[in-house]
């Protein structure tokens, strides 16, 4: 099969090639913060920092303010504000509200630092064909899937994950949340897309004020955002989230091995 832009690559060592019968290693988002290999270690995986700095008086859209502050400070009408899973810490150095005018709020002498973190999740990584020929030392082999089969691959991967993973691989509260009746409500959500390479630290000033839609985009893609120093990898990421319709269950293990025999017809 010829390499081309319509394909995804999994760089690996020969003994880990799926064609050799090796199992697939499904890692976790947080595991990449401490992984031994410094080439792929990312200490801020799944995190994003916003620094709001408005020394002069400025008028802000109430929706914009409520979205960014996510309940730390509310300006009314927050029922229509999208909520994003994960934790948030807002450190308010100074906040001076001049007044609220209908759908707007006027502030000045305001400086707030917001640190957000998405929940941990299982994930599997490949690379776009535009990646460096050999982005990782010691990876002397690879396997490939045609891009037109990525959705089929994702569906098969999710099915095997759901069938094979023990509940012990998730946080202990999952056993408390499940009964024979509610176990049938468990579902697995899998998202997949190319990673976005940009700074995870956003300084918001009067001259650099992202739009409401841009903030939605940033908050929605935190699990798919990495610094530009990793750009040579051209990563394509598959993210798995187990839930019961009310809450997400985070991993309790750093990785899980999937037996991949059904992939033979896809690669």
**Domain limits, the chain:** 7-46+119-195+234-265, 47-117
Arithmetic mean of pLDDT, 90-110: 91
Residues of the chain with pLDDT > 90: what percent? 53
Contacts of 106 (CB under 8 A, 6+ apart): 57, 58, 59, 60, 97, 98, 99, 100
Arithmetic mean of pLDDT, 105-128: 94
What phi and psi values does residue 13 have, to the nearest 5 degrees?
Answer: -85, 155
Beta-strand ranges (E) seen in 103-254 are 104-117, 122-128, 141-146, 187-194, 196-197, 201-204, 225-226, 235-243, 248-249
Arithmetic mean of pLDDT, 128-157: 85
Q: Which residues of 189-215 are buried (b: 16+ CB within 10 A; e: fewer)?
A: ebbbeebebeebebebeeeeeeeeeeb
For every residue of 50-90, DSSP letters joined together read EEEEE-S-EEEEHHHHHHHHTTSS--S-GGGS---SSEEEE
Q: What length is written for the chain?
A: 267
Q: How far apart are CA 91 and CA 238, in angstroms?
A: 32
Q: Are 95 and 112 in contact (CB under 8 A)?
A: yes
1: pLDDT strictly greater than 70 = no
Q: Are 57 and 209 in contact (CB under 8 A)?
A: no
175: pLDDT strictly greater than 80 = no
Considering only CA atoms, which of 136, 143, 140, 139 is closest in space to residue 40? 136
Q: Residue 220: helix, strand or coil by DSSP? A: helix
Arithmetic mean of pLDDT, 134-161: 87
Q: Are 41 and 51 in contact (CB under 8 A)?
A: no
The pTM of this model reads 0.86
């Amino acid at each position: 099969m010829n390499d081309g832009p319509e394909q995804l690559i999994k760089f690996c060592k020969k003994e880990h090639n799926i064609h050799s019968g090796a199992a697939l290693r499904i890692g976790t988002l947080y595991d990449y913060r401490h992984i031994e290999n410094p080439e792929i270690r990312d200490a801020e995986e799944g995190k994003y920092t916003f620094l709001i700095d408005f020394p002069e008086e400025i008028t802000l859209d109430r929706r914009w303010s409520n979205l960014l502050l996510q309940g730390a400070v509310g300006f009314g009408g927050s029922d229509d504000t999208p909520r994003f899973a994960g934790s948030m810490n807002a450190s308010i150095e100074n906040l001076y509200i001049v007044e609220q005018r209908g759908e707007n709020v006027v502030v000045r002498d305001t400086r707030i630092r917001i640190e957000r973190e998405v929940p941990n999740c299982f994930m599997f990584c490949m690379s776009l064909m535009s990646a460096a020929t050999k982005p990782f030392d010691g990876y002397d082999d690879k396997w490939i899937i045609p891009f037109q089969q990525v959705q089929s691959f994702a569906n098969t991967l999710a099915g095997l994950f759901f069938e094979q993973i023990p509940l012990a691989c998730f946080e202990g509260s999952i056993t408390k949340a499940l009964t024979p009746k509610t176990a049938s409500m468990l579902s697995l959500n899998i998202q997949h897309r190319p990673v976005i390479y940009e700074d995870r630290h956003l300084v918001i000033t009067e001259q650099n004020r992202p739009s409401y839609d841009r903030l939605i985009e940033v908050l929605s893609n935190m699990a798919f955002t990495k610094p530009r120093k990793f750009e040579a990898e051209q990563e394509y990421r598959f993210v798995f989230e187990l839930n019961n319709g009310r809450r997400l269950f985070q991993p309790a293990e750093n990785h899980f091995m999937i037996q991949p025999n059904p992939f033979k017809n896809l690669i």
